[in-house]
Structure 1
């Protein structure tokens, strides 16, 4: 199955139905599909030949989905640029992937101008002229045919080069193909959601990342995608009620913000069937409070850019069992999961090992990174995740931490998440991040950064005592530092390295 054919099938089946909403504006399935066809022709006219790469520097908007589909129809691989990265990082991405054309919106025109000038790159604007003299794509598409260009496509053709630093700490491009992305769509429909024609998915996170993978599953079932420009707690819950959203997709940080601001407590969620969360570990106190407020509407997925979206799922029924709230669920039915030692042998239930996956939705590989690919692909179709976990007798997985985040202190392994979970259970703590700091005696010292709860103060001794009551002595933080906030990625993941790396300057 080819991803581009999924677009065609949804458009043919649901043509006059509303597909996309953004504010007061909307587009039908036919309008999205015909816009994608015309946009694809404009991309061709401006040098984006089939098999080439096109960079997208865009925020969420009415035309975001049509632009992604246009790349599919044109036979080009899209390279989304995270708007929050530096110009140097974005420039490196463009050079490494050999991008031939940059599409940008008006809000990001200044950055697009920097990139276009430094790389002598042609541009197309989206709602405004391109900064390098190119036309407005929305105007140009009205002057060309809306007939599908029907570019020949093969299962192994790259369609997405998405940069991530998740498993290694270094930005690299994950490559997904016509076949692997179609398998991602099937994975979501098989394991996580089953949209109908009355289904409405609300998108507040950037469509570049996990939120965007839900577009095609809803497209294939006749549902609507409601796109928001960003996430703001009160505006978000207002949108749930206004658009009668049936499903939402959040990262744990967003759920925490909805609760801490009071927006969740006053929300009308009568239309909401499922609140999906994932992308980073969920603190148990947060999901417990969320269920107290919104009931048993929650479903969790665990996955990564290299293998989206669902490696495991903890569904709504699982959430009714309090003993499972620390789990990330059971393996997806369309993939194989192995918790293994360093040699690839399965570990016994209860023991910690690295998660490996074999599935049709895994990446083709990292772009232009043969040594890294050799390290990550373990043979016979198995992909290493670098995530450490244990599995119980019932087959539920419990994430421990990333291998790269593990702290070795005095010869003992400490996984930050288990310490963070204890800290987050304390009423005085709103957020907690644990890292390893250099120590002349212990090599690494467990160090906690804590954001106090509103009106609270950080009592280092009390928090250390709380950890000591629950965990081994070597896991107790040697120091607890109060901070106003913790650094987050654009999708709400904690940037642990931003706290850890300054501690090691000059020591590594």
Structure 2
């Protein structure tokens, strides 16, 4: 099955039903599909030939899903540009992928104009005229046919180039194809959710990343996608009640914000069947508190941009076993997983190794990066994740950390997450990030950055003592630094390297 065919099948089956909500506005399945057809024709009229690449500089909105579908119908590869990146980063993405046409919304017209002038791309606006003279796609699509272009497509055709920094801190484009993205949809339906016609998924995180992968699973089952412009704790829980959301998708940072602001405690979640979380490790104190407030309606997935969405799943029943709350679950039914040493040999249960995966939903590769692809793909079709984990006798996986985040102090390995979990269990700590700082004696010194809980004072000695009570002495932070905030990526992941790299300036 091809991804573009999934769009056609959902539209044919559920035409008059509501597919998308944004504020008080709605679009039916037919309206989304016909808009995508017309948008595809406008893209063609402005030079986006089948096989070319089109950049999207868009926030979440009413037409976001139709725009993604339009790229499928036009036979072009979409290149999402995260709005929170710098112009230099976005420009490099345009140059590396050979983009010649950029679609932007009204809020990002100035950045679009800057990119257009410095990188020689044409522009189309979405709800606004193009930044450098192109038309408004929403107006132009009323002047063309809404019939499906019905272009030929092949399983290996690329449909998405999605940039990620991954383990290296350097932006690189992950390529997904007609076949691999359709496999992502099947993976979600097989392992994580079973939407029906009464299902409502709430999208507050950017549709560029993990949240967007839930669109087609709901589209195929007749459910609704409620799109929010962004995440704000009280507005988010108000939306759960207003739209009677049955499923939500959160990153751990978002869930912590709901709890820390009190929004979660006052929320009406009577409609909510499942609160899905993933994208980064969940601190145990956060999920324990969340379950105290919302009950056992949580499901966790572990995956990567290179292999979305579910490599493993910890379902709601698993959340009833307190011993499993530190786990990311068991392997997905449609994925083969190994935990191996550096040579690819599986390690024994309980030992730490690197996760490798083989599945139909893995990426085709990194764009224009043959050396990196050679490094990341092992013989037999295995993809190296660079994530370190251990597996128990029951087959549950426990993420330890990214290989690149591991601290080596005095010859001992320290994985930041285990130290962070102890710190986060302390009432005075709202957020904690642990990194390695340079040390003349130990090479690296465990260093903690903590954000105090509201109204709390941080006592460095007390926090060090708490870690010493739970972990080996070499894992105790030598320094605890109090900060107002910790840096986050555009999708809400902690940017550990943004705290670590300044400590090493001039030392490496």
Same fold? TM cut 0.5: yes
2:281 alignment partner, SS class: coil
Report whether the alignment pairs 1:234 with 2:234. Answer: yes
Alignment map for 1:10-409 (pairs within 5 Å): 10-409=10-409
Any idea what the Cα deviations from partners look like across 1:34-82, whole Å, max 9, x if unmatched?
0000000000000000000000000000000000000000000000000
Cα deviation, residue 455, structure 1: 1.3
For 1:171 and 1:466, how far apart are their aligned partners in 2? 37
Any idea what the Cα deviations from partners look like across 1:446-499, whole Å, max 9, x if unmatched?
000011111111111111111111111111111111111100111110000000
For 1:81 and 1:460, how far apart are their aligned partners in 2? 41
2:265 alignment partner, SS class: coil
Cα deviation, residue 149, structure 1: 0.3
Report whether the alignment pairs 1:440 with 2:446. Answer: no
1:189 alignment partner, SS class: helix
For 2:9 and 2:114, how far apart are their aligned partners in 1? 39
For 1:453 and 1:141, how far apart are their aligned partners in 2? 50
Kept in 1: contact 2:188–2:310 (CA 8 A): yes
For 2:22 and 2:423, how far apart are their aligned partners in 1? 40
For 1:238 and 1:411, how far apart are their aligned partners in 2? 50
Cα deviation, residue 379, structure 1: 1.5
For 2:168 and 2:155, how far apart are their aligned partners in 1? 28
Cα deviation, residue 167, structure 1: 2.4
For 1:169 and 1:376, how far apart are their aligned partners in 2? 15
Cα deviation, residue 100, structure 1: 1.7
Cα deviation, residue 119, structure 1: 1.1
Kept in 1: contact 2:100–2:120 (CA 8 A): no
2:104 alignment partner, SS class: strand
For 2:186 and 2:385, how far apart are their aligned partners in 1? 21
Greater displacement, 214-223 / 454-463? 454-463
2:430 is aligned to: 430
Any idea what the Cα deviations from partners look like across 1:111-159, whole Å, max 9, x if unmatched?
0000000012110000010011000000000000000001110000000
**What stretches of structure 1 of length at least 5 have no aligned partner?**
none
Number of aligned residue pairs: 508
For 2:150 and 2:100, how far apart are their aligned partners in 1? 21
Cα deviation, residue 110, structure 1: 0.4
Cα deviation, residue 347, structure 1: 0.4
RMSD: 0.5
For 1:174 and 1:18, how far apart are their aligned partners in 2? 32
Report whether the alignment pairs 1:414 with 2:414. Answer: yes
For 2:498 and 2:504, how far apart are their aligned partners in 1? 11
Any idea what the Cα deviations from partners look like across 1:310-365, whole Å, max 9, x if unmatched?
00000000000000000000000000000000000000000000000000000000
**Stretches of 4+ aligned residues off by more than 6 angstroms:** none
Report whether the alignment pairs 1:467 with 2:467. Answer: yes
For 2:400 and 2:97, how far apart are their aligned partners in 1? 34
For 2:473 and 2:267, how far apart are their aligned partners in 1? 43
Kept in 1: contact 2:312–2:332 (CA 8 A): yes
Kept in 2: contact 1:422–1:466 (CA 8 A): yes
**What stretches of structure 2 of length at least 5 have no aligned partner?**
none
1:4 is aligned to: 4
2:492 is aligned to: 492
For 2:502 and 2:401, how far apart are their aligned partners in 1? 21
Alignment map for 1:475-490 (pairs within 5 Å): 475-490=475-490
Kept in 2: contact 1:121–1:132 (CA 8 A): no
1:338 alignment partner, SS class: strand
For 1:463 and 1:292, how far apart are their aligned partners in 2? 24
For 1:104 and 1:356, how far apart are their aligned partners in 2? 37
1:316 alignment partner, SS class: coil
Kept in 2: contact 1:206–1:491 (CA 8 A): yes
For 2:190 and 2:425, how far apart are their aligned partners in 1? 34
For 2:15 and 2:456, how far apart are their aligned partners in 1? 55
Any idea what the Cα deviations from partners look like across 1:357-394, whole Å, max 9, x if unmatched?
00000000000000000000011110000000000000
Cα deviation, residue 168, structure 1: 2.0
Kept in 2: contact 1:204–1:229 (CA 8 A): yes
Kept in 2: contact 1:203–1:225 (CA 8 A): yes
For 1:99 and 1:379, how far apart are their aligned partners in 2? 33
